């Protein structure tokens, strides 16, 4: 049986006129790798911040249940309930990778085996390397290792492959896949649709203030009659562009009264 690691119930979040989500209810289960995709500025980072409670919704609730089954073994502290790797993680450049994890574990009130934690993400050879000497990709991997400190049931990554070469991006996605198990979910925001398509169990498309699609890559392809997730995304962008164009026949009525069913009113209905 799977457990919900985070649930949104009737959540509304906006910045002034910019609506990120309106009346959104969604639940993420342990064992899922969920990819959050959407155009630039659609609200992916804000949505991740809602999942992690870095940001509070204007209304509605975000809950992350932590049942007994998610406790660490007897005699140790509770598991962290969520970990978040921002798009541009920053670490103390003078610390080694191992010292970074130890420092972070002490802040989190837990313990870590740095060699095992770094080995898990493919950084075994960098244990004693200073963080300032790590490549961009290695720094993201260190971020994933740090996110796993305290064994959180929900790990949230914001665009972990941006700016990385394809091989490193593949490695990051493979690592993300590896850390998902029956007791943990991972949510990743990404523009790398090919990578997402390879590893995600579930893809949520965020656009125009709502989750417009939510399903497995195969379900999304089928729903949109598309061959790839990239085609799904392009199809959605095209239909949004069409929605924004007021069809000439409906742009005005012959008696000068306002049109009743223009594309503009369609957009506002969402």
Kindly list the residues in this chain that would bind ligand ATP in the complex (CB under 6 A).
15, 18, 20, 38, 40-46
Nearer to ligand ATP, 40 or 68 (CB): 40
Within 10 angstroms of residue 249's Cβ, the number of other Cβ atoms is 7
In the chain, the N- to C-terminal Cα span, in Å, equals 34
What is the residue-wise DSSP string for 65-85? ---GGGSPSTTSPPPPS-EEE
Q: What is the largest CA-CA distance in the chain?
A: 78
| CA–CA separation, 21 and 92 (whole Å) | 35
Least gap, CB of 171 to ligand ATP (angstroms): 22
Nearer to ligand ATP, 54 or 108 (CB): 54
Least gap, CB of 202 to ligand ATP (angstroms): 18
Nearer to ligand ATP, 99 or 208 (CB): 208
Least gap, CB of 98 to ligand ATP (angstroms): 31
Nearer to ligand ATP, 37 or 123 (CB): 37
| CA–CA separation, 177 and 213 (whole Å) | 22
Length of the chain: 270
Nearer to ligand ATP, 55 or 129 (CB): 55
Nearer to ligand ATP, 72 or 211 (CB): 211
- In 3D space, the residue among 221, 198, 233, 196 whose CA is nearest the CA of residue 38 turns out to be 233
Least gap, CB of 73 to ligand ATP (angstroms): 37
Determine contact, residues 190/45, Cβ cutoff 8 Å.
no
Least gap, CB of 260 to ligand ATP (angstroms): 30
Nearer to ligand ATP, 5 or 189 (CB): 189
Least gap, CB of 49 to ligand ATP (angstroms): 8
Least gap, CB of 116 to ligand ATP (angstroms): 33
| One-letter-per-residue 3-state SS of 206-255 | EECCEEEEEECHHHHHHHHCCCCHHHHHHHHHHHHHHHHCCCHHHHCCCC
Within 10 angstroms of residue 270's Cβ, the number of other Cβ atoms is 13
């Amino acid at each position: 049986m799977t457990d919900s690691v985070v649930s949104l119930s009737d959540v509304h979040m906006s910045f002034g006129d910019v609506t990120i989500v309106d009346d959104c209810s969604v639940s993420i289960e342990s064992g899922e790798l969920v990819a959050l995709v959407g155009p630039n500025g659609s609200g992916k980072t804000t949505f991740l911040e809602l999942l992690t409670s870095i940001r509070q919704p204007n209304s509605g609730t975000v809950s992350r249940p932590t049942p007994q089954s998610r406790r660490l073994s007897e005699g140790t502290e509770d598991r962290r309930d969520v970990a978040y790797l921002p798009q541009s993680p920053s670490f103390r450049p003078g610390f080694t990778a191992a010292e970074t994890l130890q420092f972070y574990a002490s802040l989190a009130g837990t313990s870590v085996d740095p060699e095992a934690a770094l080995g898990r993400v493919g950084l075994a050879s960098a244990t004693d390397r200073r963080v300032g000497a790590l490549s961009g990709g290695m720094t993201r991997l260190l971020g994933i290792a740090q996110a796993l400190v305290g064994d959180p049931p929900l790990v949230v990554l914001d665009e972990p492959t941006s700016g990385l070469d394809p091989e490193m991006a593949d490695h990051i996605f493979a690592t993300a896949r590896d850390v998902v198990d029956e007791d943990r979910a991972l949510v990743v925001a990404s523009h790398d649709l090919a990578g997402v398509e390879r590893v995600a169990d579930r893809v949520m498309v965020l656009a125009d203030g709502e989750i417009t699609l939510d399903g497995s890559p195969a379900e999304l392809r089928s729903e949109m009659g598309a061959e790839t997730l990239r085609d799904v995304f392009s199809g959605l962008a095209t239909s949004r562009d069409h929605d924004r164009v007021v069809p000439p026949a409906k742009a005005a009525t012959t008696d000068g009264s306002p049109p009743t069913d223009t594309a503009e009113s369609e957009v506002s209905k969402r």
